[in-house]
Amino acid sequence: MNASKVWFTDLRTRPGHNLLDKTEALMRAAGIETIDFKDKFVALKLHLGEPGNLAYIRPNYVARVVRLIHELGGRPFLTDCNTLYSGGRSNAVDHLQSAQENGFNRIAIGADVIIADGLKGTDYREVPIHLKRCETAKIGTAIADADIIVSLTHFKGHEQAGFGGTLKNLGMGSGSRGGKMQMHSESKPRIDVVKCTACGTCVRSCPQVAIGWNADHKAFIDYTKCVGCGQCVAVCMYGAARPVFQGTNDALNEKIAEYAYAVLHGKPAFHVSFIMNVSPNCDCWGLNDAAIVPDIGIAASFDPVALDQACVDLVNKAVANQGSVLGDVHFEQGDKFTHVHPDTHWESQVAHAEEIGLGTRQYEMVVVE
């Protein structure tokens, strides 16, 4: 397969050409106008921000994208699916409230928010894909029914996938609650009792009520109840809750790629990644830790695989922020995501995505001023 083009712009500005202008210029240069948007329903797939986390994409950027799609004749709406874990986005009522509080509303954005899998996460289309890990994928109805997909991704680290990029935004993010359970089914956390401080955060946060106390008052997981959602891994600040994969981390990452395939197959799509506030963990945390590198820029492509690979390379080439978790793990050189999350294997996600035809890891970077 020939190399795909990834367009990139840095964060330098000048009078009359601010970051919103640069975002639009990037998307136009990358060819978004070649998509026929006329009267089409356009799903803008993005993370709407967990309450307390401030690393999500600023609504100002999203508003500019919405304006552009309106100009091109499309009918855009913002969308995401409910989470498997407890928190501010596990049902549509709370999810919409979180979105409103974070600035994703019609007044600020110019488009409405639709929670793709409905009130309780049970509204989905079962999409046949017949791939290595999944015969079908449970995709939120509003995303499955959309005519065009435009993904807007905050690029960052991830405690189970290694990093969170376009593929994860589309794959895990578009799965209904049942779909997320399917993707997580081969990963179950464990508790390192030496590191456990008995703070109780994991006990209170577990949506399945699967975590209690052992005889030594250390956290204990009842695996007959655990669904592997990773909430305990996300909320533990002491490294006591760790992911354990039955087999390898590859199963989770390959399922994410296959769910992304289910979302994109047969539809026009375009992807934008914001490589800024590159926090070490998922935006599903109720907080965001210090960025592991300085802000880098914005990238766009029709190829989600090439885009993710380019973003990984840009982060790995950037100077490490020693005031972040990278300083805690004494990072000097190598892959930053593996240093932060040594139990993960992010390459399996992009490699499998390439194998199933979502794109290529080979790319040509085109710089847009």
Let me know whether 176 and 52 are in one domain.
Answer: yes
Q: Mapped to the 3 state alphabet, what secondary structure does the chain carry?
A: CCCEEEEEECCCCECCECHHHHHHHHHHHHCHHHCCCCCCEEEEECCCCCCCCCCCCCHHHHHHHHHHHHHCCCEEEEEECCCCCCCCCCCHHHHHHHHHHCCCCHHHHCCCEEECCCCCCCCEEEEECCCCCCCEEEEEHHHHCCCEEEEEEECEEECCCEEECHHHHHHHHHECHHHHHHHHCCEEEEECCCCCCCCCHHHHHCCCCCEEECCCCCEEECCCCCCCCCHHHHHCCCCCEEEEECCCCHHHHHHHHHHHHHHHCCCCEEEEEEECCCCCCCCCCCCCCCCCCCCCEEEEECCHHHHHHHHHHHHHHCCCCCCCHHHHCCCCCCCHHHHHCCCCCCHHHHHHHHHCCCCCCCEEEEECC
> How much is the average pLDDT of 190-208?
92
Q: Are residues 99 and 141 in the same domain?
A: yes
What is the domain extent for residue 19?
4-184+248-367
Domain boundary among 227, 242, 257: 242
**31 and 179 together in one domain:** yes
The domain total for the chain is 2
Q: Please give the average per-residue pLDDT across 72-86, as a whole number.
A: 92
In a shared domain, residues 145 and 118: yes
pTM of the shown model: 0.88
pLDDT at 205: 84
pLDDT tens per residue across span 322-349: 999 999 988 989 999 999 999 889 999 9
Q: Is there a single domain that holds both residue 205 and residue 323?
A: no
* 103 and 173 co-located in one domain: yes
Q: Does 229 score more than 80 pLDDT?
A: no
Give yes or no: residues 236 and 354 share one domain: no
> CATH no. for residue 123?
3.40.50
Q: Do 130 and 87 share a domain, yes or no?
A: yes
CATH number at residue 212: 3.30.70.20
* Final residue belonging to a domain, choices 205, 224, 242: 242
Whether 310 and 337 map to the same domain: the answer is yes
